[in-house]
Structure 1
């Protein structure tokens, strides 16, 4: 098989897998929407408080394990692998799971996509004063991410990928070479960070050869403080964050919105 045919076949397989996932999610939504109040009441009567407590603990453990790789968690997977016969009281269980994360772990379970029901865990504890979470020592991979998010934010929210690679090269991180700390840098940025929903890597229409651009992902919007990020940039350039008027206005608005929610 020629290389072109293999590429076409691989692309078709990916499309088929995405279509199957979409169908599975549609079926899952239909199952949830068909649950009646009488089914909920029967489920509450069928399960003891201890059984429900254990199920809540199982869901918490499942989400913590999944979150170790920062991969978003789908409701369909929670239902299939953990909730199972408790599906009728899913809402009650997930509400208790949210309270458990908040009260015990200082974490917040956030639904970043209400349409297909995808969750992430974010840390709501305050970082060390003046030190962004992603830039703490011993966390170089998230430091790499923080640099990219900073560039995107300061350039208006959307940048071509060449600007990202050129910025990293100035920091002696070449996406064309294997890095001692990150390994395949381009794969980390365009695959890992994208799957984790920190970044969006989008094809630019009508470009030849094909070009891509980066945006903040849904997890970054929920987890990263734009105001603290701007303060960090201000320290780097020895400037008052308010000197970047547009960015400061956007960061302040985002901070106010986050606090109110």
Structure 2
């Protein structure tokens, strides 16, 4: 049982202490020891494998993504390498390239690395037209409707909103975080745990507040999956105004729709 953990501990223990602290998970240690293979290393690795072996491993990666994506939780490279790629890590780039092609051609999905630093991947619906309805506004999923409202509030208020403001707006809409909701149950838990874990929202403590206060921002998944122009269309319909009425938000929405996740996050 201990054979598989020993290499990671041997290579990663000193790194976890100096870089990630004593709370680093096993996956983080594994990822710290993983180096992206060079083109030459990949080529040499492919020469030792049959096409069938590479195809099989690619299929396993695709299946892993599809299963994990059901819960909308980003897939970590560390988990992927440790649990699926395993001894094929020397051809990791080739496997990911083939998996991305499969998602594109077979499923109409796009594999996106939303966090290049921590290597987190998500799948987004590539077939959805940019001008169409956001996948998040699906009326058959009330939970995503709740999320869309929160993302709209954050966007319209400049990208950062205190949690007290969000709770007040939700209460006006009949979602009181102090009471159990018939549809969502513990709605506060849904917002600050589920939506945050799925990377739709960031829930950040505001420094020097007593009692402690937090604020919400768009998460990395929202930046690549949610259409800001559609939010403006939604708000315009709600208030009977043209989207251009909100000049700052209009410029933000049309500057680089759904493609500036790293830039927008760092600016906020």
**Superposition TM-score tier, normalisation by shorter sequence:** 0.7 to 0.9
Higher mean displacement: 248-257 or 55-64: 248-257
- CA deviations over 1:229-254 (Å, ceiling 9, x no partner): 11111001110000100000100103
- CA deviations over 1:87-136 (Å, ceiling 9, x no partner): 10000000111111111111111111111211111112226976443223
Separation of aligned partners in 1, 2:40 and 2:130: 49
More helix per residue = 1
Question: Which residue in the other structure is 1:6 paired with?
Answer: none
List aligned pairs for 1:178-193, cutoff 5 A. Answer: 178-193=180-195
Q: 1:28 to 1:129 in 2, by over 3 A?
A: closer
How far does residue 177 in structure 1 lie from its aligned partner after superposition?
0.8
Q: 1:24 to 1:58 in 2, by over 3 A?
A: closer
Match status 1:25 vs 2:21: no
Kept after mapping to 2: 8 A contact 1:226/1:254? no
Separation of aligned partners in 1, 2:131 and 2:95: 36
2:214 to 200, 207, 212: 212
Question: Which residue in the other structure is 1:7 paired with?
Answer: none
CA RMSD of aligned residues (A): 2.1
- Secondary structure at the aligned position of 1:239 is classed as coil
- Secondary structure at the aligned position of 1:215 is classed as strand
List aligned pairs for 1:218-233, cutoff 5 A. Answer: 218-233=220-235
Question: Which residue in the other structure is 2:8 paired with?
Answer: none
Separation of aligned partners in 2, 1:149 and 1:193: 11
List aligned pairs for 1:16-55, cutoff 5 A. Answer: 19-21=23-25, 24-33=27-36, 35=37, 39-55=41-57
Number of residues of Structure 1 aligned to a counterpart in Structure 2 = 241
Kept after mapping to 2: 8 A contact 1:178/1:185? yes
Q: 1:161 to 1:44 in 2, by over 3 A?
A: same
TM-score by length of 2: 0.84
Q: 1:131 to 1:118 in 2, by over 3 A?
A: closer
Separation of aligned partners in 1, 2:158 and 2:22: 31
Separation of aligned partners in 2, 1:24 and 1:197: 19
Question: Which residue in the other structure is 1:5 paired with?
Answer: none
Kept after mapping to 2: 8 A contact 1:127/1:133? no
Q: 1:168 to 1:84 in 2, by over 3 A?
A: same
Q: 1:247 to 1:51 in 2, by over 3 A?
A: same
How far does residue 144 in structure 1 lie from its aligned partner after superposition?
0.3
TM-score by length of 1: 0.86
List aligned pairs for 1:111-126, cutoff 5 A. Answer: 111-126=113-128
Q: Which runs of 5+ in 2 are unaligned?
A: 1-19, 261-268
